[in-house]
Amino acid sequence: MRKAIVETATGQVTNIIEIELDEDGGFSHWECPGGCELVDADNSGPGWTWDGSVFSPPTPYVSSRLAILMSAGPATQVYDEETEEMVDRPAEDIAADKAELLGLLQTKLAASEDLTWEEMNKMMALERES
């Protein structure tokens, strides 16, 4: 049977396990981690929340501004709904996005957070441009 391991204090599902009942109809052959309880898992999974009667899925991940700028880079074109065409963005808008990205990377580094190889290379390229 499928069971969710739920932190009692927070309702956070930490794991899902498959476990069979013992001969007494319980789970005496397995000890639940301290501060947790076993709940019938239904469709839940790790990261879900249990409120005592219903499971709720985790909040969808929303990319940070840094992640958005790193993945796509500053957009050089935008869609114009009136003409239904892609048009060039003004150079000052692109420059503003690049300055924002450089600032975000420098702030992350100053906060003693490690930069990925890609982030470090992007930061150095932006510094050379400015």
State residue 50's pLDDT score.
96
Same domain, 40 and 72: no
State residue 86's pLDDT score.
92
Walking along the chain (130 residues) 10 residues at a time, the average pLDDT comes out as 94 94 81 92 92 88 77 82 91 91 90 86 89
Q: Which two tokens stand for residue 36?
A: 């947790």
Same domain, 36 and 73: no
State residue 53's pLDDT score.
94
Question: Which residue pairs from 60-67 have beta carbons closer than 8 angstroms and sit at least 24 positions apart in sequence?
Answer: 65/100, 65/104, 66/101, 66/104, 66/105, 66/108
Same domain, 85 and 39: no
| CB neighbour class for 57 (10 Å; exposed up to 12, middle 13-18, buried from 19) | exposed
Domain boundary among 34, 56, 78: 56
Same domain, 45 and 69: no
- How many domains, the chain? 2
